[in-house]
Amino acid sequence: MATTTAAISVASTDLTDNALSLASTNTLYKAGTSVGLDQSTGLGSKYYAAAQSNATLVSAGSYEDNTANWVYIKNTGSSTEEYFTIELGASNIVIGRLYGGDWMWIPYEGEQDIDISSSATKMTLETMVIYQAA
């Protein structure tokens, strides 16, 4: 059985009135079980020579609906002005922007595509899906 643990930590000395330090971990299991997720697309990167508009990054058809899936996306650039917009579904509902160096880690239900749009040309995204096979 595969064991994959995701971890995040956040620290700040001036975000709140007091110093902030939090950490959390999560072991990734198949839905409703204590069996670890054992499938992955592998870590990959995609270079976009041209600007993108509503381009599919993660296709829902590749993953089983309502299973345990997790998606990692990172803008590998360093620009504070250029970004990728992350969108969900056919309506392209915007869930956020990733500027240079920004990343996200989200649970993914596998029912809607994850699309991206870019603010410029010559940009690169890093991505990986850890998922539950049917």
Q: For the chain, what are the domain ranges?
A: 39-131
CATH architecture of 39-131: Sandwich (2.60)
- The confidence score (pLDDT) of residue 61 equals 85
- The model's confidence at residue 2, banded by pLDDT at 50, 70 and 90, is confident
First to last CA, the chain: 16
| Alpha-carbon gap, residue 104 to 89, rounded angstroms | 17
Residues of the chain above pLDDT 90, percent: 86
Query: What pTM was computed for the model?
Result: 0.92
Q: Residues 51-108: pLDDT tens digits?
A: 999 999 999 888 877 789 999 999 999 999 999 999 999 999 999 999 999 999 999 9
CA neighbours within 13 Å on the CB side: how many for 72? Answer: 17
**Among candidates 56, 73, 53, which has minimal Cα distance to 117?**
53
